[in-house]
Amino acid sequence: MPLRLLKYGLSRDYPVSGDIPATPDLKPSYDVVIVGGGGHGLSCAHHLSKYHGISSVAVIEKGYLAGGNTARNTTTIRSNYITPEGIAFYKEAVELFEGLSQELDFNVMFSQRGQLTLAHTEATLRSFHARAEMGKHLGTRTEVVDQKAVEKLVPSLNMDYGGALEILGGLWHADGGTARHDAVAWGYAAQASRRGVEIHQRTEVEGFEVVGDRVQAVKTNRGRITCGHVLIATGGMNYDVALMAGVELPIRCYPLQAMVTQPLKPWLHTLVSSVSLHTYLVQSSRGEVVIGGSSDPYQLYSTRSTLDMKEHLAEGAVHLFPFLQGVRLLRQWAGITDMTPDYSPIMGASPLENLWLDCGWGTWGFKATPVAGKRMAETIAEGRVPDILRPFALERFETFRLLNEMGATAASH
Amino acid sequence: MKILTCPMNGPRNIDEFQSFGPVRAEPDPDRTADADWSRHLFRAENRRGIVIEWWRHVPSNYFFLAERDLVSNEIIRTFDASERRAQP
């Protein structure tokens, strides 16, 4: 049997075919250089090549494809934010996810199972009413639900009646869901490379040649590339990469930790999130329970995991679902999040004419992979920032027009 | 458990402390242009290297300074705020 298999493996009639071609030689020039081969950069490359006829694109990745925060996030997709600008943007993200497997001809395993955020205090419940009304106004499915509805949505939940963390109600977001993060990145990469986009893995940006108010060339460890436009989409490296071009972003980096349990039978059919416990859970299609929570409490550039955070996440998870107490952890990991002061991303123009930003994705970037790529591609192709992105401009910090989404997540506040 | 040595309370679990971020210049609000004020509010030190940060020991509400490496997370030293003022 192994020998017969080997015959096929070595035969020229059955060549090895991969979704992503091997890294080619670097050309001296590209129309667009995308720094960062994660979901966002690859999505932008896909949109540039498919909808704007721009295929002279190089995606430059320091490590391997989608190995940064694309691989480390907890795959929550939702649009139940606070500001009208934020909701409108993330609504488009959810809509693009709904059609993404078809768009990419690649199964991204999008599962729109809804997200339930729990309120353990009256104050949280009041903030949920405000979020639900704003969400409804903008056409998303977001509503406040009472205790009975919570019990019905997640029967295994510990309601803690009479306890200190009694669940008083929830914010039910039927549009919420999850998808397979690797598939999203690989689907975009496969599509983009089929249209001529070059993906350069293990290619590190070492600097930018800035002449006047333009980036003339990108210096990498594999050579110098002149470029028409540059997009920075490097997740936890955004601050460092922008600084190489002389742009200082209002970003501070914090580790964000998460973990998964051993696989269990399917029992959790929605995403569950608790604001007070800073814990959220989702059961993956493999049955593992993915548990995430708040960022580390102080700035750091290390992706080590700490026992403190694991204890904290386990405490929250076991409080919500006491039967998880005997379940074992399978893996834990961390990523570096590029946090902005208002918990909203920075997208659009930079102080340099042809340098574009897709930065400040902190703990909320995965869900925006399709929409950020689509809208940044539009920005680069047309040389104009579309209206939906304008509120996220870097200038908002100088004009004090912040988009406060701090309370829109269980992750950090 | 990570230990932070408080200048007043000695070595304690870092859970007892709250970080208030890197020390920054304190501009005079009456004489600062909007752009500089924005910089003061929103752009904290984030380079890979050693920073001096404000920390607070929560139970005693004592604020002090710590010198810490943002890459290795090594706490190099902690000191009372009066030492900073004493510096030129």
| Portions of chain A given CATH number 3.30.9.10 | 113-175+253-339
pLDDT, tens only, A332-346: 999 999 999 999 999
CB contact under 8 A, A397 and B34: no
pLDDT tens, residue by residue, B40-79: 999 989 999 999 999 999 999 999 999 999 999 999 999 9
The answer to whether the CB of A37 falls within 8 A of the CB of A65 is: yes
Write the DSSP string, A300-325: -------HHHHHHHHHHHHHH-GGGG
Name the minimum distance, in Å, from the CA of B48 to any CA of chain A: 7
Query: A113-175+253-339 belongs to which homologous superfamily?
Result: D-Amino Acid Oxidase, subunit A, domain 2 (3.30.9.10)
Per the CB < 8 Å rule, is B51 touching A299?
yes
Shortest alpha-carbon distance between residue A345 and chain B (Å): 14
Report the pLDDT value the prediction gives residue A5, as an integer from 0 to 100: 82
Strand partners, B17: B57
Chain B residue with CA closest to A247: the answer is: B43
Q: Measured between beta carbons, which residues in chain A are less than 8 angstroms from residue B51?
A: 299
The beta-carbon neighbor of A250 closest among B1, B22, B42 is B42
Q: Which residues have C-beta within 8 Å of that of residue A384, sequence separation ≥ 6?
A: none
For residue A111, the 8-state DSSP code is: B
pLDDT at A21: 87
Amino acid at A410: A
Can you give the pLDDT at residue B88?
47
**Which residues belong to CATH 3.50.50.60 in chain A?**
21-73+182-251+342-408
Q: Could B46 and A251 be called an inter-chain contact, meaning their C-beta atoms sit closer than 8 Å?
A: yes
CATH class of A21-73+182-251+342-408: alpha beta
Q: How much is the pTM?
A: 0.94
Tokens read off for A408: 């829109």
ipTM of the complex: 0.94
The tokens 């907890």 sit on which residue? A74
- Identify the structural domains of chain B with CATH numbers, from first to last: 3-27+36-86 (3.30.2270.10)
> Distance between CA A332 and CA A257 in Å, rounded?
7
**In one letter, which amino acid is A299?**
Q
According to DSSP, the β-strands at A355-359 and A223-232 are parallel
**Which residue of A244, A298, A300 to mutate against B (max B Cβ within 10 Å)?**
A298
Amino acid at A383: G
A107: number of Cβ within 10 Å: 13
User: How far, in Å, CA of A291 to CA of A279, rounded?
Assistant: 7
Residues 6+ apart with CB under 8 A from A67: none
- What is the number of H-type helices and E-type strands within chain B? 2, 6
Given this model, what pLDDT does residue A410 score? 55
CB A376 within 8 A of CB A51: no
DSSP string, A11-33: -TTS----SSPPP-PPPSEEEEE
**C-alpha to C-alpha distance for A169 and A352, rounded to whole angstroms:** 48
| Of A250, A297, A302, Cβ closest to residue B43 | A250
The segments of chain A whose pLDDT lies below 50 read 413
Which residue of A253, A308, A397 is in closest CB contact with B46? A253
Q: Over the Cα atoms of chain A, what is R_g?
A: 22
How close does chain A come to B83, measured CA to CA in Å? 23
